[in-house]
A and B are shown apart, each in its own frame.
Chain A
Amino acid sequence: MGREGEVASELLGAFERENPGLRVRVEQLPFTAAHEKLLTAYAGDATPDIAQMGNTWLPEFVALDAVVPLDDRLRASAQVDLADFDPGIVATNVIEGRQYGVPWYVDTRVLFYRRDLLAQAGFDAPPRDWDEWLRMQVAVKQRVGPDRYAVLLPLNEYEQLVALWLQQGEPLLRDGNRFGNFRSAGFAHALEFYLSMFERHLAPPVTNNDVANVWNEFARGYFSFFITGPWQIGELKRRLPPELQSSWMTAPLPGPHGPGASSAGGCSLAIFRRSTRMDAAWKLVEFLSRPAVQQEFYRLSGNLPARRSAWAAPALAHDPYARAFRDQLDRVRPIPQVPEWERIATELRLVMEMVVRGDIPKARVAQEMDARADLILEKRRWMLERRAHR
């Protein structure tokens, strides 16, 4: 999918040479259409043997019983050892106690910031906790004036707020993922901090659509901080003018008290139940999990390897921008592993947009979100109850 689909064929040459009997046919999908396409493939009985699957999609395909658990194969495998992966990432592939995927590449959200603008505001190191971060934002905002801002929190993304909430260490859904947990102290805390950045005009009330070109705006100093993923390293190296290349850096996400957690993202490899070539598919999983292949994959695509030993590669170990990600990966937490989560998070984003635009009061958010989440989870509760009665 996306760039990965393009480079996969380059990686697979070596696999086919090692396994002369096997030919891998790669189907490339744009990321925006991949999820729908895989679901349609399931409905139309045309699933592939193996697919790269977003960690957040996996629960859905498990609910469909479209993918197989890999526990037995993992136990027997000499090549793939899950101990060599980040536990927070591995946990995203565990649904009801079984392992349904092998992490392929990892993704988490960290802080990207402008060193020069921060230095002008009097700070020579990135923030470690929320208070410090807020102080820096206020100082930056004072310098840049009313037309520019300190931080970009796009209103059409929920990832930032969810990451801040994950830092609180409480579950996002309660009672075995049956109900929303928005009326919790942790959510209130994260919400308060998130909204304060809008209330104090540190963050512009805009969506990514309005920003149009996030790299240009970062270069112009429209904002000094943004929270995003590893793909932006390559983009910024390519798109920022040379004179600005030394002026940006990455840092682990600040938490309420010292470095905080972030969300566990990325893609895993999963094998479909309808596959008639599971053994060959597993061979491919083992091949793609090799440290050397993961390093090559990083070189080709810029995706951070899921396997820890692959990080020893000089290209990664010496990349100053990747360092924050390596650090952050030790503190990642999975989002709820239920198919409904994506929809609940989308509702959260819509409610946030309404709050920032002043359509509903901040005090009503928790209640409103719990009501929406509980409605979305109704079918899940019914299914769980029926299963318990059987």
Chain B
Amino acid sequence: MKKILLIAATAFVSMASFASVDPVKGKVLESFRTEFSEAKNVQWKSLEDAGLYQATFQYRNTELSAFYDEAGELVATARYVSRENLPIMVTKAIRETYPEHVVRNVIEHISNGSTTYHVTLHGEKSSMIVSASPGGNLSVFKKIKSKL
């Protein structure tokens, strides 16, 4: 669970800004090349707290982040998507629960075979990041008070 939260948080911070690390070798690199043979412009980052490696790269017209553990196991992928990618029930739940907020960013996060959408919502008084299951179950991941 801690790793999943860290991956979600990392996805928000690091998909735009990146500090490269030494080229990743061994099982991680082998695994990555097998899974994403069409990857271009690959950049690696080490997430030491979680014991993970993050690769961010161009893949089939999208920028994707893949997270590997030290054994070379793919533990998650994450990418920015447009709000039109949100499933019907997520759109519906957000419109009903946060009618005054506007969707700013959406991250599609897949780990352990399940998909979660992390949605940044902007409102006049507050902004927040909510996590949503494809079926529209929402939970607040982080709240941010707007500056006056």
Chain B associates with chain A: no
